[in-house]
Every structure is written in structure tokens, then in C-alpha cells.
Amino acid sequence: MRAIKHPSEAALALHAGGDLGPIAQWRTARHLRRCRVCREELAAFQGVRRVVAEMPSEPEIPWNRLAAEMQANIRLGLAAGECAGGNLPASHSVFGFTGWRAALALASLTVVVAAGLMLRHPAAPAGQTVLEATADGIQVRRGGESLGMKHGAGTGNVSYSASAQGSIGESYVDPVTGDVTMTRVSW
């Protein structure tokens, strides 16, 4: 009796998006006609694609508020420059600029740093699951709860994975013994 060879998760994910080549597409479609488990996994990938398609492409940045803060900082800098008589000593210059130029440079730098922090650490919408890489593994967060897999640095070859059905896993090869450890956790 011949064992059934299921398509990989990657092939099913590519099939869900119509990104497989013609022959692989045909083989996967043929397998899906007779395999309920793979059809369910394909449906999960298609659901994830729908959710991702509905997500905003860029984080919402309050540009009007940032512009108002920049204008306020510029006005403050100009007013401070007028109070000081517009002649700041060289020790009070910013990047070689004095007066209103220094205020403008500081305001611009503040906006760039704030935007960078907002883009680097976007807040997850309430109730949604977030999968993220950490310094020593992977982590899934939803609301105030998290589930993570961590492995110490320098301990060998570790591969992390996540599935659309709600599980994360790791595979570890011990560099000394060659033993393989595989762990999968569902949430």
C-alpha cells in the first residue's frame, strides 16, 4: 500500500494565493480533491489571506498632530531666538545651526525619532493575534497574554515555525550528539 504524500505547508500557502507554478498547482489541486485535512489547512491559509488583505497597509500615523507639534516647536524656537537676541554663542548651536535653524533641526529630529519608534513598535489592534520574533525565539501575543518559545543562544541549529491553525514549533539539532528535538504547541 502506497503512503499518501501531502503537500508541504508552504505549497498549501502558495496554492491559497495562486502563486504555485502550473505543474505544482495541478498536483496540489489533485491532492486536495481527495484529502480533507489538506483542504481544511488550505481554508485556514485562505482565511489568513483575507484577514491580511483587510488590514491597513501602513500604520495609521496622526500626521496632523505631528505637524501641529512641529509648528509649535518651530514657533517656540523662534520666540526663544528673539528673546536671546538671535545671537547664540557657538556652544549653544545644534549641528552648526543657531536660532530658528536650531529649533527647526531639533523639531525635525524629534519627528523622525517619534515616527521611527511608532513604526518599529506598532500597537496590535485589540483582540488580534500577533506573531513576533524575539531575541531568543518566537512569541504569539493576544490581548495581555503571550505564548513564547525560546532557546538559548549558541546552542546549535534551532528552527522556529508557526502555522495558520494556531500553533508554534521549534526544531533543534544538538551540535554534539546530533539528536533532534521537535516541539509544537497549539493555542
Residue range 154-178: mean pLDDT, rounded = 73
Most confident of 1-15, 141-155, 163-177: 1-15
How many whole angstroms separate alpha carbon 111 and alpha carbon 67? 9
How far apart CA 68 and CA 118 sit, in angstroms, is: 17
Q: Which residues contact 178 (CB under 8 A, 6 or more apart)?
A: none
- Tell me which of 154 and 11 has the higher pLDDT: 11
Q: Which of 9-23, 43-57, 83-97, 156-170 has the highest mean pLDDT?
A: 9-23
Does 78 have pLDDT greater than 60?
yes
Q: Which of 40-44, 47-51, 96-100, 116-120 has the highest mean pLDDT?
A: 40-44
User: Considering the entire predicted model, what is its pTM?
Assistant: 0.33
Contact criterion met (CB below 8 Å) for 58 and 88: no
**H or E segment to which residue 82 belongs:** helix 63-83
**Distance between CA 139 and CA 118 in Å, rounded?**
20
Domain spans in the chain, listed from the N-terminal domain onward: 9-54, 63-120, 129-186
Confidence at 163, pLDDT banded by 50, 70, 90: confident
Q: Which of 119, 141, 123 is closest to 132 using CA atoms? A: 141
Can you tell me the mean pLDDT for 160-166?
73
Residue 87 banded pLDDT, cuts 50, 70, 90: low
| N- to C-terminal Cα separation, the chain | 35
